[in-house]
Amino acid sequence: MKLFFLLVATSFSSVLLAQNNPISNDTIHFPGETHFANVRQLTFGGDNAEAYFSFDDQYLIFQKTNPKEGINCDQIWMGKLPTSANEKFEPVLVSNGKGRTTCAFVFPDNKHIIYGSTHLGGVECPPTPDRKKYGNKYIWPIYESFDIFKADMDGGNIKRMTKTSGYDAEATISPKGNKIVFTSMRDGDLDLYTMDINGKNVKRITSELGYDGGAWFSPDGNKIIWRASRPKTTAEIDEYKSLLAENLVAPTNMEVWTANADGTDAKQITFLPSANWAPNFTPQGDKIIFCSNHEYKRGFPFNMYLINLDGSGIEKISRDKGFDAFPMFSHDGKKVVFCSNRNNGGTRDTNIFIADWIE
């Protein structure tokens, strides 16, 4: 789920025009990004985020908002990855264009997709909260009408997978092809749950107060990684509960956690200021890649970092002065895809980039 971060990204994008030289403040590939090679920009305009590989590494699925194109809130798009420099990335709409959608993923059979959608609650984009009411801090709506849906790769044959009241979204699928992990409000808090690939046998796997979301399985399917915002003080707990009663949350302070796939042996990995989120495992499963603003007192930029599984050895790997996030590695470990404000020509656009991954 994009949470507040994409909004921040679009508000603080670089104001310099794109240049082609490697020392530009707005470029496709910044100096110091030694883990990237042959960086290519795939989208050009709007807010494009959460771009994830299909299991055969041939397609990307992502969410997109672009009012200039009549896309007033996130819808799900999918495109075949170019295999040559001359081939274009030409995604097509695979959600039904109704309501707001989020957090899409491709099934291991490479024949079906999964995503969250509010379309059963209404065909229009659901309203956003009035930030002035909450002191202008970022408030993220937990739309009760969000449910998880399965569809064919072309978006047809939509089937509802969750039917409980309250928020259900942020689903990803185990490489084993047997489990789905997702975030739900069904028991009164924002916790992680797993279910079988057919939507049955739902099990809650986190129980500590606070937002748990954005979970992923490790490459072998034995572990999960996610972001958690855990209120500690009385004031923080009161604010969290008060917002949650209005189906809202403000998780601006988050840390990265890991656990076994069934939720046991949960461990906090990062102990950094501000927002540490969008975590994923590296292709070998021996390190973690995540997004953070911990270096910056003003809370911006967001960059991507590598860290060992025990929380040691943090390494900064991206250098945009705005927003780099939502990293995912191809299943063969050769590519990385991410979303960034870079090379947006001084606009507020967030686009999708793909690069060769260099160890």
pLDDT, tens only, 138-147? 789 999 999 9
Each residue of 48-100: pLDDT tens digit? Answer: 999 999 999 999 999 999 999 999 999 999 999 999 999 999 999 999 999 99
Structure confidence by residue, pLDDT tens digits, 205-259: 999 999 999 999 999 999 999 999 999 999 999 999 999 999 999 988 999 999 9
Bridging pattern class, strands 147-152 and 112-117: antiparallel
Would you say residue 19 has pLDDT above 60?
no
Q: What is the pLDDT of residue 40?
A: 98
Collapse the DSSP code of 240 into the 3-class scheme (helix H, G, I; strand E, B; otherwise coil) and give the result: helix
Other beta carbons within 10 angstroms of residue 358's beta carbon come to 12
Q: Which residue has the higher pLDDT, 270 or 1?
A: 270
Q: Is 341's pLDDT higher than 50?
A: yes
Sign of the alpha-carbon torsion through 166, 237, 294, 255: negative
CATH number of the domain located at residue range(s) 47-336 in this protein: 2.120.10.30
Indicate the residue type of 50: E
User: Quick one: 112 exposed, middle or buried, by C-beta within 10 A (0-12, 13-18, 19+)?
Assistant: middle
Are 150 and 112 in contact, with CB atoms under 8 Å apart? yes
Instruction: Specify the amino acid at residue 208.
Output: E
CA 30 to chain centre: 22
Cα–Cα distance, 2 to 6 (Å, whole number): 6
Domain ranges of the chain: 47-336
> What does residue 159 show for φ and ψ, rounded to 5 degrees?
-130, 130
> Which residues, including other chains, have CB under 8 Å from residue 264's CB and lie 6 or more apart?
none
pTM: 0.93
Give the pLDDT score at 26. Answer: 79
pLDDT of 252 reads 83
Q: How far apart are CA 307 and CA 13, in angstroms?
A: 26
**Beta strand pairing call for 324-329 and 71-80:** unpaired
